[in-house]
Chains A and B, each alone.
Chain A
């Protein structure tokens, strides 16, 4: 009854769990009987469950959970708690299960995945990074074996053959970007045998908020090498001499940089008195801008590292090195020129996919995370997913202390170090979460200088992740980490073997310190969640300064506070300012997400048309048939000369090439259109409508044009040694593909907000 009232009044948007809770008793009743079975009999029991269709009936659900619990007990030595089984049932119903850290999300996910797999669905368990994908797959393998379900995982380095093998398993673990790029690469395949990703079945998303919200803000972009560029060392040299503030200015968010009037003059003079903004020659300005962008906005060890004479990007939201990832539009070359390393090939965008489009391919979607309610609205809007909030097995006793707020970065750092020294003296383990690689190293150096030895976990040494995390809960441990430690990592008190547990518990458990709040409260909560797993003691505290990027860029006021002698700000209304700044940042990110989604809707539709046609060409002989109609003489002649099969092969390659090339050109047009579309707002037009209004006609005749060009190439292709040499007719494929780090510009929204406020103030309906 009380629950009914609570449901009506409070926490709207979460799923009613009572039907699941009712089944817990029958599940427990089955335990004794199942415990007496041999392993083979248990596997047979699991296989019996596969005789029916999804969804699970009540009795089958009970049986599945009971068998799963017994299997987990045997294979992993862990008997799933009731709350984990509730999670499994919620997942099987296609929900997002919110489960706190250390509650065993991975196990619950594995049982649900097995549940889907037993009923003949192919399951993709999608995680935020490769490390988690691999770890979870290996960890759960014994369980899957016992349930008679095959499992595989995809790593960053896996080749096509390994990937195909992993995808052939009933349950496949992969990171969202690997999966997305596999899908993108499949779209470039010229032979059905080259395809890697099977038809989508079930998507089970681990760390769902991170994958569905944070990662979804920008689309995944696949690029191919197009041509080599010369590195613009001269320009890099030139901008190195410019001074910030005097010659150029960086905006508050550090996203854009522009020359000041003095800067323009200085550059024009240095280049020998050219006019950068002339209407006739617009080739110099992009070079200047690129070099300046690389110089002013990208910092070594924050945005990239230089390793083995190459520039490697760091993925900001995960704090890890991203292999085969680059900046688009010549920025990569500009950074390479800045660092004086050899220039690599420049590329062009081949295709892109949004996380929404990727996941909406799956007829069934579900997932789990520690922090879902904060984004429940977005999950519903973009993915049609509901959140089920699952109570922790043991109540969380972690103490979340209020933030400590300081005026300047230095005072904040001093206070943090002092606090570390004080707490460390008691032997209590400490985890310090920082914003980026450079910050983590600075803090580590500072601590070392104070005689406090610490382990560092960041993108530069991610190979040591597992051992570092395993010991982070040991007596007297100090660990400095980037956001890497924020998710999926389980810090056990008393070190890896928990031998020292009692002593650590006595000191108060893990102490999590945040060196600055993150751009979203969910990230804060994830860091906090490292402490207090399974009813462990622990506490958390964030150290914030008014100079922090988050506060400085988003707070309305950054002056007028009173400080104590230590530089601390104790006024509670200033703590609200920090919270407000975070909410502003969250609102902005959400708008970014929504814009990505909106602007990609039409593109997805057009892509669908192309892909449908492409698949007919790839799997059927659509290309051959078309060319036989379009150039009957040439076709007949070639069939005579090299045989029908060879002609069909060439026709397929030529048709696919022109389809893909047409799409690349169309995408480039759309990207260009998108860049300036926000200006339309000044003419009282809705930029999105304007975008669609120009994008729709631009696509008209796409397939016919590609077909016409294919016919042209087909007529020209020469015959060499009994084969049609398509390469000589201009058909080539990108030799290497990589992914682009893109940021969508939030500025159109800013613009709309500013103008929209004035407009609605004057009340136009």
Chain B
């Protein structure tokens, strides 16, 4: 393992790729802590500390997580890459609806390049929208739940300064988008994923520090150990797969028999990845949005109901059970739409492949479906448990809002980490070296 890393750094162009990636990520982090013009850095730090002691940013905490805390610092890169992710989700959904986009998609690389271009435009539009709303919220103090006076951290509030801030944040998002593409192109790993990864990891030291300060060394040690065990478990399950053997009977095998061992469909236990968790948490922010719309009126029964049962920082059983059920549901849903056994069976049939002992077409589809269901059940339960574990632990220890090993973070970290390591490995293998994952 260590030798492979040394070898990676000895291979000149791979070393350059790695250094390039680290270089870009460094600039990215730098931009995440440099405040936008018109922001008083010292004041906002103080303000943040006050806020974090109580509830964190509620509605925006997922975005804040993805921006590595840059959002609440009103940094140059406050928006992170969320606008880009949102834009690509929207465009991908639109390809299904708009025929022109669909035809473009089919034209291969040239068409894909055009769609990417549209995604970039949409990102800029979304960035303008989001930065405007964030700055508006910061100006009224709403961003920090009115915990401190806006004029302390935003001394100047004339239109020109505000417009400059919008420009800077939008520009920041464009630069981040460019960074992501640069890493994908000239570095290692998927740029966008790595940027998210960096931001999540960036939150770690401060969270850990706080635990140390507030809970003392013993709790700190327990949390670190628990976190490591959790991570090892996630790595283990993320790698787990069921291999269904497939044979291709199109050609004469001749004297030798190959296949069997090398041709198979690998079905992952957690086929859905982190997406069900993200979906479920996004959905559970909706009640917060409703509360925000209705105003924090304690007499309103709806608001009362929602804030009792669906407080994201609370550990109310109803909230947890809903969260769990949503994750399990989404996991099944996701697997159902990404892996269509009938389509796979059809494709195999078309190209002369079959599962030994099972007839092509419908019987194959039924068999795949059977295996998939049996595999997804534990996979979905695992996802739910991983996502809930921190909350359960918090309920017991009372370390409110500080636990850095949130289910989403861990799943993303492990997922991106594994992907990146695999890519480095693949670079090594292309040079005919064996990798370090086996």
In the complex, the answer to whether A765 meets B196 with C-beta atoms within 8 Å is yes
Contacting B at CB under 8 A, from A750-765, are: 751, 754-755, 757-765
- A289-B249, A605-B431 known; A583-B107 Cβ under 8 A: yes
Smallest beta-carbon distance B414→chain A, Å: 13
In the complex, the answer to whether A556 meets B103 with C-beta atoms within 8 Å is yes
In the complex, the answer to whether B258 meets A556 with C-beta atoms within 8 Å is no
CB contacts (< 8 Å) of B111 on chain A: these are: 583, 587
Q: Is B274 an interface residue (CB 8 A)?
A: yes
A-B contact count (CB 8 A): 202
> Which among A583, A676, A679, A693 is the interface contact of B110 at CB below 8 angstroms?
A583
Q: Is A282 an interface residue (CB 8 A)?
A: yes
Q: Is A394 an interface residue (CB 8 A)?
A: no
Smallest beta-carbon distance A694→chain B, Å: 6
Smallest beta-carbon distance A414→chain B, Å: 30
- A289-B250, A689-B422 known; A587-B432 Cβ under 8 A: no
Q: Is B354 an interface residue (CB 8 A)?
A: yes
Smallest beta-carbon distance A627→chain B, Å: 26
Q: Look across to chain B and name the residue whose beta carbon is closest to the beta carbon of A669.
A: B258
- A329-B252, A580-B107, A696-B433 known; A763-B89 Cβ under 8 A: yes
In the complex, the answer to whether B92 meets A679 with C-beta atoms within 8 Å is no
In the complex, the answer to whether A760 meets B92 with C-beta atoms within 8 Å is yes
In the complex, the answer to whether B251 meets A348 with C-beta atoms within 8 Å is no
In the complex, the answer to whether B246 meets A682 with C-beta atoms within 8 Å is no
Smallest beta-carbon distance A660→chain B, Å: 16
- A590-B108, A668-B256, A751-B347 known; A679-B422 Cβ under 8 A: no
In the complex, the answer to whether A251 meets B106 with C-beta atoms within 8 Å is no
In the complex, the answer to whether A765 meets B422 with C-beta atoms within 8 Å is no
CB contacts (< 8 Å) of A679 on chain B: these are: 246, 263-266, 353
Q: How many residues of A contact B (CB 8 A)?
A: 75
In the complex, the answer to whether A587 meets B426 with C-beta atoms within 8 Å is no
Interface centre among B250, B347, B353, B426 (most CB of A within 10 A): B250
Binds B, one of A256-264, A399-407, A650-658: A256-264
In the complex, the answer to whether A763 meets B85 with C-beta atoms within 8 Å is yes
CB contacts (< 8 Å) of A684 on chain B: these are: 268, 271, 273
**B325-339 toward A: CB 8 Å interface, digit per residue (1/0)?**
000000000100111
In the complex, the answer to whether A556 meets B106 with C-beta atoms within 8 Å is yes
Q: Is A683 an interface residue (CB 8 A)?
A: yes
Q: Is A606 an interface residue (CB 8 A)?
A: yes
Q: Is A200 an interface residue (CB 8 A)?
A: no
Smallest beta-carbon distance B202→chain A, Å: 16
> Which among B249, B250, B267 is the interface contact of A683 at CB below 8 angstroms?
B267
Q: Look across to chain A and name the residue whose beta carbon is closest to the beta carbon of B276.
A: A762
Contacting B at CB under 8 A, from A241-281, are: 251, 256, 258, 261, 264, 277-279
Q: Is A152 an interface residue (CB 8 A)?
A: no
* Alpha-carbon distance between A587 and B113 when the two chains are bound, in angstroms: 12
Q: Is B259 an interface residue (CB 8 A)?
A: yes
Q: Is B205 an interface residue (CB 8 A)?
A: no
Binds A, one of B17-25, B141-149, B213-221, B358-366: B358-366
> Which among B107, B259, B265, B357 is the interface contact of A672 at CB below 8 angstroms?
B259
Interface centre among B193, B339, B344, B347 (most CB of A within 10 A): B347
Interface centre among A584, A609, A665, A762 (most CB of B within 10 A): A762
Contacting B at CB under 8 A, from A601-622, are: 601-602, 605-606, 609
CB contacts (< 8 Å) of A344 on chain B: these are: none
Smallest beta-carbon distance A387→chain B, Å: 17
* Alpha-carbon distance between A601 and B427 when the two chains are bound, in angstroms: 11
Smallest beta-carbon distance B291→chain A, Å: 26
> Which among A264, A278, A286 is the interface contact of B251 at CB below 8 angstroms?
A286
Q: Is B262 an interface residue (CB 8 A)?
A: yes
* Alpha-carbon distance between A759 and B93 when the two chains are bound, in angstroms: 11
Q: Look across to chain B and name the residue whose beta carbon is closest to the beta carbon of A758.
A: B338
Interface centre among B93, B248, B251, B357 (most CB of A within 10 A): B251
Contacting B at CB under 8 A, from A691-745, are: 692-697, 699-700, 745
* Alpha-carbon distance between A349 and B217 when the two chains are bound, in angstroms: 66
CB contacts (< 8 Å) of A591 on chain B: these are: 108-109
CB contacts (< 8 Å) of B88 on chain A: these are: 760, 763
Q: Is A537 an interface residue (CB 8 A)?
A: no
CB contacts (< 8 Å) of A285 on chain B: these are: 249, 354
* Alpha-carbon distance between A556 and B111 when the two chains are bound, in angstroms: 15
* Alpha-carbon distance between A402 and B110 when the two chains are bound, in angstroms: 24
Interface centre among A258, A261, A688 (most CB of B within 10 A): A258
In the complex, the answer to whether A689 meets B423 with C-beta atoms within 8 Å is yes
- A591-B108, A747-B347 known; A689-B266 Cβ under 8 A: no
CB contacts (< 8 Å) of B247 on chain A: these are: 282
CB contacts (< 8 Å) of B241 on chain A: these are: 683
In the complex, the answer to whether B263 meets A675 with C-beta atoms within 8 Å is yes
CB contacts (< 8 Å) of A556 on chain B: these are: 99, 102-103, 106
Q: Is A142 an interface residue (CB 8 A)?
A: no
In the complex, the answer to whether A689 meets B426 with C-beta atoms within 8 Å is yes
Q: List the 6 shortest-distance A-B pairs measured between CB atoms, nearest first.
A: A587-B108, A683-B266, A676-B263, A329-B251, A330-B252, A279-B357
Cβ contacts A to B, 14 pairs, < 8 Å: A256-B352, A264-B360, A277-B359, A289-B250, A583-B110, A591-B108, A605-B430, A605-B432, A606-B432, A676-B353, A679-B353, A689-B426, A697-B434, A762-B334
Q: Which of A's residues lie within 8 Å of B, judged by CB?
A: 226, 251, 256, 258, 261, 264, 277-279, 282, 285-286, 289-290, 293, 328-331, 346, 348, 554, 556, 580, 583-584, 586-588, 590-591, 601-602, 605-606, 609, 665, 668-669, 672-673, 675-677, 679-680, 682-686, 688-689, 692-697, 699-700, 745, 747, 751, 754-755, 757-765
Q: Which of B's residues lie within 8 Å of A, judged by CB?
A: 85-86, 88-89, 92-93, 95-96, 99, 102-103, 105-111, 190, 192-193, 196, 241, 246-256, 258-259, 262-268, 271, 273-275, 334, 337-339, 343-344, 347, 349-354, 356-361, 416, 422-423, 425-426, 429-435, 438
Excluding A330-B251, A745-B351, 9 further A-B contacts by CB distance (< 8 Å) are A261-B361, A329-B250, A329-B251, A583-B108, A683-B271, A696-B432, A747-B350, A757-B95, A764-B275
